[in-house]
């Protein structure tokens, strides 16, 4: 009798332990399943290129889409705008009315070519760049329209080069360019841990610091310099980068006692030494091992 009564507490204890162990097993299984689901969610965000405040991701496909649908049409427009304005500046019997008409039509045509749908919601810098280019083209069209009411070439040129509308158009265009090159830097930082995601404070870049910077950071820094100085030319930031690197590696920068990138850029711009596609001259020699997105103007 005593044996039976003493076995009951033992059975209750064993039953309690069994339930406790089962509860822990269920709990830890749930934790693992939940963790797996969270990891799978973030892996999908990576794969799809979705972004949030704490999980931004820039895809190469977005950079390529931006190039073909936004940047390239604007690039062609910029080239045409600079050439037509230069014709007006030089005169040489150029038909002012026809040039201004062409400029306005060119801005309107480029505006229609640039994708106006919001297709970069997951890449904030690209979305902002798209909006800035559309703003730039609209202001260029208005600037050409205002210049058409000018009484002569001199007033028309002043409106196109220094007028409020044209200045705003250039400002938005250069900001869009900076947005794009900052996006490339973000993309590069996700591909290569040695590449920073932001330019940081680059108000003055000594040559020693420049020499250690990856190409995408150099390009983003030059885009920022071009924006700050209002340099609206046919050449791209990588063309300026390549020209600077060649000037340094050839020893000319040292012979001219140039000690920072800002002073070298000023010299190159003021002497008209920069040309479109300068980057292609030194791409293989200087940048064959650099991380770059597959964009045509890097490989043409």
**Total H helices, total E strands in the chain:** 14, 0
- Give the model confidence (pLDDT) of 231-263 as tens digits: 999 999 999 999 999 999 999 999 999 999 999
**pLDDT beneath 70: ranges in the chain:** 1-56, 92-94
CB 189, CB 196: distance < 8 Å: yes
Q: Are 207 and 259 in contact (CB under 8 A)?
A: yes
What is the pLDDT, as a whole number, of residue 122? 86
pLDDT at 42: 33
- CB distance 257 to 251 below 8 Å: no
CA distance 186 to 129: 14
Nearest residue to 219 via CA among 261, 273, 249: 261
Which residues is 260 bridged to in the sheet?
206
Q: How far apart (Å, rounded) are the C-alpha atoms in residues 63 and 12?
A: 67
pTM (2 decimals)?
0.81
**So what's the pLDDT on residue 48?**
44
Cβ atoms 182, 198 nearer than 8 A: yes
pLDDT for res 7: 55
| 96 neighbors 85 (Cβ within 8 angstroms) | no
Q: Are 260 and 207 in contact (CB under 8 A)?
A: yes
pLDDT value of residue 14: 57
Which pLDDT tens digit goes with each residue over 192-202?
999 999 999 88
Q: How far is CA 256 from the centre of its chain?
A: 32
How far apart CA 300 and CA 14 sit, in angstroms, is 77
Query: Do the beta carbons of residue 138 and residue 111 sit within 8 Å?
Result: yes
Distances (CA, A) of 120 to 138, 282, 293: 20, 32, 17
Residues 17 and 14: their CA atoms lie apart, in Å, by: 5
């Amino acid at each position: 009798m005593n044996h039976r009564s003493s076995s009951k507490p033992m059975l209750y204890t064993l039953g309690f332990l069994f339930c406790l162990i089962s509860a822990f097993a269920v709990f830890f299984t749930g934790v693992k399943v939940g963790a797996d689901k969270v990891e799978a969610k973030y892996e999908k965000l990576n794969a799809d290129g979705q972004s949030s405040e704490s999980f931004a991701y820039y895809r190469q496909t977005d950079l390529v889409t931006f190039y073909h649908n936004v940047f390239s049409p604007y690039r062609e427009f910029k080239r045409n705008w600079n050439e037509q304005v230069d014709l007006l500046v030089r005169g040489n019997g150029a038909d002012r009315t026809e040039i201004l008409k062409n400029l306005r039509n060119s801005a309107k045509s480029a505006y229609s070519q640039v994708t106006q749908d919001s297709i970069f919601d997951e890449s904030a810098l690209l979305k902002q760049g798209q909006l800035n280019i559309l703003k730039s083209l609209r202001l260029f069209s208005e600037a050409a329209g205002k210049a058409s009411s000018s009484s002569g070439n001199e007033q028309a040129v002043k409106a196109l080069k220094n007028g409020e509308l044209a200045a705003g158009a250039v400002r938005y265009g250069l900001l869009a360019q900076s947005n794009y090159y900052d996006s490339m830097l973000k993309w590069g930082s996700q591909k290569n841990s040695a590449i920073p995601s932001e330019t940081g404070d680059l108000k003055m870049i000594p040559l020693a610091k420049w020499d250690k910077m990856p190409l995408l950071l150099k390009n983003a820094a030059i885009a920022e310099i071009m924006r700050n100085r209002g340099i609206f030319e046919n050449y791209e930031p990588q063309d300026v980068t390549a020209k600077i690197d060649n000037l340094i590696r050839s020893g000319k920068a040292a012979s001219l006692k140039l000690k920072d990138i800002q002073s070298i850029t000023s010299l190159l711009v003021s002497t008209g030494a920069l040309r479109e596609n300068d980057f292609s001259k030194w791409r293989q020699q200087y940048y064959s091992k650099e991380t770059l997105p597959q964009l045509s103007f890097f490989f043409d």
